[in-house]
Amino acid sequence: MSTRRNFLQTMGLSALGVYAFNGLNARSVLTAAPVAGGPVLRVALMGLGGYASRVAESMQQSRRAKITGLISGTPEKLKSWGEKYGVPENSRYNYESFDAVKNNPDIDAVYVITPNALHHDQVIRCAAAGKHVICEKPMGLNAKEGREMVAACKKAGKQLLVGYRMHFEPLTLEIHRMRMAGELGAVKFFQGLSGFRIGDPTQWRLNKALAGGGALMDIGIYALNGCRYMVGEEPVWVTAQETKTDRVKFKEGVDETITFQLGFPGGVTASCLSSYNMNNLDRFFLNGEKGFAELQPASSYGPIKGRTNKGPLELTTDRPQQAVQMDEMAAIILDGRKPVIPVDGEEGLRDLVIIDAIYKAVKTGGKVKLV
């Protein structure tokens, strides 16, 4: 019991409050200490859309992150959000003027929550303005963009983090711990299913110019990223196949459904699916010689549910994932905390390299090797 508590607190789960893991014959309840005191990360939100609304609301429960700036192309949103979250007019910017955050001492970092195609230039501009950057996933449209973003932030001496909220989710981290501790034995197979039926055909996610792709970029990245941290290795090859049943809604360059397979140096294989045309796809399954672990749902906004060969895993918490993510990212930026599963720009870049390979495999129909 004490060993598990110490391990989870070391992983940075202390921000979560109370959480519980159920075994087959026993229940372990872990009450974690509050996040260590320290300075508050002052954050400007860029792109005031639907997900930014969730982030902003969740941040009201953050202990070490606060909204101190807003960036949007919609004046009405800047006004209403500014009034709602107490952001003064001199800390509200549009997309043309936001380089001026350079002169704003009340902003430490900018959280980029805009359409995928805008990430590259906006992240580079934020770094040049001397601010740390948190960028929603996918970090960019391709590996070339990702490398340029990482290089720009390094040159500016600023951190680049990616919004991988599941990297701080306790059941995810418990399965990661079990695999690392050898409790599942040698890993043999991973399955990741990520998808939903997308609605409004005019939204930016179905616009190649803004999204850079389709289901793979938006939802499939959960399965792709998940297989890497669940297996604990980097894949060395990929194969992939695309299925498209609605060519009006899913135009050229916007994938409806992609299945992809990955091979790992230790012999593990992964089979994943991403889709914009199927519901009930939110499952991770990790199989080892000694046991298995499953999350279903695996990447929703919660509650995440899990089980292993020993029984169910259960979580109790009153804190939204985004609040935990922002507190942990504050600790990374301000305290130098090292998360168990990385969330830095290099992590985001590795996903983009694999996404490039998946799209190449779809086009060629062959196996694409990863360097």
Gap between the Cα atoms of 91 and 93, Å rounded: 7
Gap between the Cα atoms of 99 and 224, Å rounded: 33
Gap between the Cα atoms of 56 and 74, Å rounded: 17
Gap between the Cα atoms of 158 and 204, Å rounded: 29
**Residue 305 is a catalytic residue:** no
Gap between the Cα atoms of 195 and 216, Å rounded: 9
Q: Cβ(254)–Cβ(211) under 8 Å? A: yes
User: Of 66, 131, 137, 158, which is the active-site residue?
Assistant: 137
Q: Following DSSP, what letter does each residue of 228-262 receive, concatenated?
A: HHHHTS--SEEEEEEE-S-TTTS-TT--SEEEEEE
The count of other CB atoms within 10 Å of the CB of residue 2 is: 6
| 283: nearest Cα among 197, 222, 235 | 222
Q: Which residues pair with 191 in a beta bridge?
A: 271, 285
SS3 249: coil
- Two tokens, residue 264: 């790992």
Written as one letter, the residue type at 291 is G
Q: Is there a cis peptide before residue 88, judged by omega within 30 degrees of 0?
A: no
User: Of 222, 229, 276, 359, which is the active-site residue?
Assistant: 222
**Residue 77 is a catalytic residue:** no
| 259: nearest Cα among 330, 190, 162, 192 | 192
Q: Catalytic residues, which ones?
A: 137, 222
